């Protein structure tokens, strides 16, 4: 190895950049196919250098694999760079997110947080096999409708978990009891075996590939779970300003370890994702994470998500694969949300030309008008507006009636009262679309 290091020293940095860059943390499966590759070096020699470097910066965690081997995370330059990018969230600040945490969030941010919660509820359920549409999920939650099937029940459970997270769970230290409560909320009326509800499993559990039906992971023996869960909770609650493991990484590792231990008969994936959010939302500097739906990006790259677990276990229990996947998913969702904020800001500026002087749109009205300018036959009611934005009935009525006063909506009597776009709003829509096409 010393001879190899001496011979490859000039190309070492190039090799490490190939394996660990902004594009990702490569496993041998992908590394061996990367091109271009330094001449005169075999892929096997390059991989030996990569593994040696990762081992040199790896931190052993208090978690162990079933074989008793320490699970590790490699604190590479690439990982630290990803943590800095996410923590700084400069793209969100440029798009309008307040730079400093607030004890009382602006009204607009609360609206965005509710929208993100609905999206998170939907996409987290989709990862676990829910078959529904985002439109139906939003309708059910907005109208407070009864779930029609198993998929909608999963989505509603996720939504309720998100509400409990903000109102209750983030104020409590993690414990076996709280972990069971989270799983219980997420899986209510969705389990084949009621014995799996709100308690740790008493038998074996297997993770099966849905396509090949191959068992890809078997959870630890149930007798080991009490000690493992206590260790997980201790790791979750640890707070120290000198901690070498950044809190973002710690949150990802909680996700990884709970999924690895698979302590429940069902609902482990959902519980792991909410545990990840629990850890971040307890930190004031990460308040803005509530504006994102991390599961959206995970759902759209589901195979990469599963591969990150598979790669970790096939590469010496290196949990960095899952950590880097989660951080990359966060960056993509941050970029998406920044684009949304910019688009919403531009729309508000455009709509000012069509409302009376000295009047301004609040975030709920802007959201409604954005929908009206893109939907085919939009119709709005006070109950739906109230439920979607989580406001009181008088506030919902005032929002809609002011839009009527400004000439953007027309009021249609009935039960319930309906509001539809006017010709003035149609003009605003045509002008806005024309401006976007010019851009």
Backbone torsions φ then ψ of 140, nearest 5 degrees: -60, -45
CATH class of this structure's domain 362-438: mainly alpha
Residue ranges per structural domain of the chain? 2-56, 61-339, 362-438
Instruction: Tell me, yes or no, if the two domains 61-339 and 362-438 fold the same way.
Output: no
Mean pLDDT, range 199-213, rounded to an integer: 83
Calpha distance 152→172 (Å, rounded): 28
CA 403, 404, 406, 409 torsion-angle sign: positive
Percentage of the chain beyond pLDDT 70 is: 95
Which of the two residues, 250 and 349, has the higher pLDDT score?
A: 250
pLDDT recorded at residue 65: 94
Calpha distance 162→169 (Å, rounded): 9
Please state whether the predicted TM-score (pTM) of the whole model is above 0.95: no
Note the pLDDT tens digit of each residue in 108-148. 677 788 788 888 999 988 888 888 888 788 778 877 788 99
Tokens of 269: 């994936």
**pLDDT band at 75; cut points 50, 70, 90:** very high
Question: In whole angstroms, how far apart are CA 72 and each of 76, 324, 398?
Answer: 12, 13, 55
- Which of the residue ranges 38-42, 156-160, 327-331 would you say has the lowest mean pLDDT? 38-42
Local structure of residue 295 (DSSP, 8 states): H
Q: Is residue 333 exposed (0-12), middle (13-18) or buried (19+ Cβ within 10 Å)? A: buried
Tokens of 351: 């709509």
Backbone torsions φ then ψ of 199, nearest 5 degrees: -150, 155
pLDDT recorded at residue 323: 97
Percentage of the chain beyond pLDDT 90 is: 55
pLDDT recorded at residue 104: 59
pLDDT recorded at residue 349: 87
Task: Evaluate whether 285 touches 101 at the Cβ level (below 8 Å).
Answer: yes
**pLDDT band at 103; cut points 50, 70, 90:** low
Q: How far is CA 284 from the centre of its chain?
A: 18
Backbone torsions φ then ψ of 53, nearest 5 degrees: -65, -45
- Non-local (6+) Cβ contacts of 422 within 8 A are 407, 408, 409, 410
Calpha distance 290→336 (Å, rounded): 14
pLDDT surpasses 60 at 35: yes
- Which of the residue ranges 4-18, 20-34, 252-266 would you say has the lowest mean pLDDT? 4-18
pLDDT recorded at residue 347: 87
CA 284, 289, 295, 301 torsion-angle sign: negative
Tokens of 240: 């120290």
- Cβ-defined contacts of 430-438 (< 8 Å, 24+): 431/350, 431/353, 432/347, 432/350, 432/373, 433/373, 435/350
Q: Is residue 418 exposed (0-12), middle (13-18) or buried (19+ Cβ within 10 Å)? A: middle
Q: What is the CATH number of domain 61-339?
A: 1.10.3290.10
Q: How many residues does the chain have?
A: 439
């Amino acid at each position: 190895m010393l001879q190899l290091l001496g011979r490859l020293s000039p190309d070492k940095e190039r090799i490490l950049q190939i394996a660990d860059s902004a594009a990702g943390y490569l496993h041998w499966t992908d590394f061996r196919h990367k091109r271009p590759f330094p001449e005169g070096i075999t892929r096997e020699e390059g991989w030996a250098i990569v593994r040696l470097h990762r081992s040199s910066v790896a931190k052993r965690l208090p978690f162990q694999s079933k074989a008793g081997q320490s699970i590790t995370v490699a604190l590479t330059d690439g990982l630290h760079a990803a943590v800095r990018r996410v923590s700084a969230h400069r793209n969100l600040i440029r798009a309008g997110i307040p730079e400093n945490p607030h004890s009382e969030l602006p009204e607009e941010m609360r609206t965005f947080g509710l929208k993100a919660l609905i999206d998170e509820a939907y996409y987290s359920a989709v990862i676990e096999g829910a078959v529904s549409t985002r439109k139906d999920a939003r309708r059910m939650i907005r109208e407070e409708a009864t779930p029609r099937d198993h998929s909608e029940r999963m989505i509603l459970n996720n939504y309720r978990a998100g509400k409990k997270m903000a109102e209750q769970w983030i104020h409590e230290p993690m414990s076996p009891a709280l972990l069971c409560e989270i799983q219980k909320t997420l899986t209510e009326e969705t389990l084949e075996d009621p014995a799996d509800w709100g308690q740790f499993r008493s038998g074996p559990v297997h993770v099966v590939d849905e396509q090949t039906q191959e068992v890809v992971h078997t959870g630890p023996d149930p007798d080991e779970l009490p000690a493992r869960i206590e260790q997980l909770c201790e790791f979750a609650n640890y707070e120290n300003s000198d901690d070498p493991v950044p809190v973002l990484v710690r949150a990802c590792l909680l996700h990884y370890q709970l999924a690895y231990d698979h302590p429940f008969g069902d609902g482990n994936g959902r519980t792991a994702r909410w545990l990840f959010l629990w850890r971040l939302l307890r930190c004031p500097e990460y308040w803005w994470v509530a504006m994102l739906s991390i599961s959206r990006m995970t759902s759209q790259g589901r195979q990469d998500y599963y591969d990150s677990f598979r790669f970790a276990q096939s590469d010496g229990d290196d949990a960095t694969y899952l950590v880097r996947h989660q951080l990359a998913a966060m960056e993509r969702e941050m970029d998406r949300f920044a684009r949304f904020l910019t688009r919403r800001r531009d729309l508000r500026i455009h709509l000012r030309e069509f409302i009376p002087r000295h009047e301004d749109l609040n975030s709920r009205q802007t959201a409604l008008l954005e929908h009206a300018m893109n939907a085919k036959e939009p119709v709005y009611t006070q109950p739906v507006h109230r439920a979607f934005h989580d406001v009181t009935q008088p506030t919902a009525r005032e929002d809609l009636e002011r839009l009527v006063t400004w000439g953007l909506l027309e009021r249609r009597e009935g039960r319930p009262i309906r509001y539809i776009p006017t010709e003035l709003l149609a003009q605003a829509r045509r002008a806005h679309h024309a401006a976007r096409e010019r851009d």
